[in-house]
Amino acid sequence: MIDPIRHLEESGHLTRFYIDGTWVEPEGRERAGVVDPACESVIAEIPLGSAADADRAVRAARKAFAGWSRTLPAERAALLSRVHALVLERAELIAQALTGEMGAAISYARQAQVPLAAEHLRVARDNLLDFPFVSQRGTTAICKEPIGVCALITPWNWPLYQITAKVGPALAAGCTVILKPSELSPLSALLFAEIMDEAGCPPGVFNLVHGSGPVVGEALASHEEVDMISITGSTRAGVLVAQAAAPTVKRVAQELGGKSPNIVLPDADLERCVPLGVASAMRNLGQSCSAPTRMLVPRARLAEVEALAAATAEGFAVGDPQAEATTHGPIANRAQYERIQTMIEAGVAEGAKLVTGGPGRPEGLESGLFARPTIFSEVRSDMAIAREEIFGPVLAILPYDSVEEAIEIANDTIYGLGAHVHGADLDQARAVAARIRAGQVHINAPAWDPQAPFGGYKRSGNGREYGREGMEEYLETKAVLGFYPHPA
């Protein structure tokens, strides 16, 4: 087995930051352990940066911006092509890092976490090559220019995927970046920094600093030389970043929490859509902000849905993430595991019907942060399990009596990140989708589209990632009047 920790130790990069094209010793003296959630043992230790480390990275990015922002699109695309190729070349090394740092089943790391992350780089490159950076409107030139130095804060649940979703379009736009990955899942970020270095990224264009949110995150958000900050995380973290950024009036893009509905219409094929809905809600152990964790079903078909949902969840193989047959590994960290257990107990206490699963570990697993895939039915909208983001393998089934009521239930949330609609009548499904207040709606479980913009309404954040809109987040608009001559 490829050992990413040994690789990083032998390279000397495990205890360093990547700033201005060089692996440097951190100024901060704090350290953090990287915990393997399958056995709850510390497998590595990383340094945590200080405000001084953040400032050093910001100044490197500022110095590099003047040159990088003026490069030709073809030059930036060539760099992204090299990075994309290296991610795929080192896919197994990265997959092993993901399994160790956040518990992704190795099969899932190989089939989803790494290849989907690589797709963000390919899409950023392709969009860059045909993007209209200058367009004509009468005699005025509408110019799209890079916003500047961007601080990127990424989470522990999709570590590399969220890194590439930000770094790819930011570099494509001509921005320079400072990446602060989650200190809970730093190994894949270090491997990505190695790739950026080997791909020939100019000094200062990409920088990496580890650290906590209250120290490095706050320092980046409040820094006068940072023009934009993009964060993926909890709604609470997004609010804190926005507050720190407010005095400098920088752009803040936030991809935050969710409690996404999955509306199963009366004419839907239950044998197809219910298993798909359960699998989607529990992919990555439900540790996805857009997971459709509220399944809304016709009351008359509730018993059928419960049986299909239970069979699907009970068919998951929860266990050792290194085993090829495992579909679901451990929860990524202790705090999240305890949150999930608390919310499952709340569902029982509130009187929801426990269809399968429940508190505690699955049978046969005596240690590690393993949770039971859990399904509740007869859930009401006022229950905590229907309102709060759990971020775990917990699905709430809510019955409805009319499609109109289903839409009302779907929108009865402070969030608005994603939604799903299933139904045989495509016109009706489209009509329902149009009325859901969410940034992305899936009709009848389509294939993932890396060009589809992703982001939320309401407290799920603002701004968009992925696709062309993802790159536009990193651009300013300049109007140059009189650029074109008047018509003769």
Catalytic, 255? Answer yes
- For 413: left if phi > 0, alpha if psi spans -120 to 50, otherwise beta; the answer is beta
In sequence order, which residues have a C-beta less than 8 Å from that of residue 242 and are 6 or more positions away?
Answer: 252, 254
d(CA 56, CA 46): 18
Q: Which residue is catalytic, options 119, 255, 306, 465? A: 255
Of 355, 357, 359, the C-alpha closest to 306 is 355
d(CA 353, CA 272): 23
SS (H, E, C) 207-218: EECCCCHHHHHH
d(CA 329, CA 371): 9
For residue 305 the two structure tokens come to 């849905």
In sequence order, which residues have a C-beta less than 8 Å from that of residue 321 and are 6 or more positions away?
Answer: 38, 99, 103, 104, 105, 106, 329, 330
d(CA 385, CA 429): 26
Query: Which whole-number Å values give the CA distances from 242 to 163, 239, 415, 462, in the listed order?
Result: 20, 5, 17, 11
Bridge partners of residue 462, in order along the sequence = 254
Three-class DSSP category at 202: coil
Q: Are 455 and 461 in contact (CB under 8 A)?
A: yes
Q: Are 153 and 231 in contact (CB under 8 A)?
A: yes
d(CA 89, CA 391): 31
- C-alpha atoms less than 13 angstroms from C-alpha of 280 in its C-beta half-sphere: 26
Q: Which residue is catalytic, options 150, 175, 273, 289? A: 289
Three-class DSSP category at 477: strand
Helices and strands (H, E) in the chain, number of each type? 17, 20
Strands 140-146 and 134-137, how do they pair?
antiparallel
- For 381: left if phi > 0, alpha if psi spans -120 to 50, otherwise beta; the answer is alpha
> Active-site positions?
255, 289
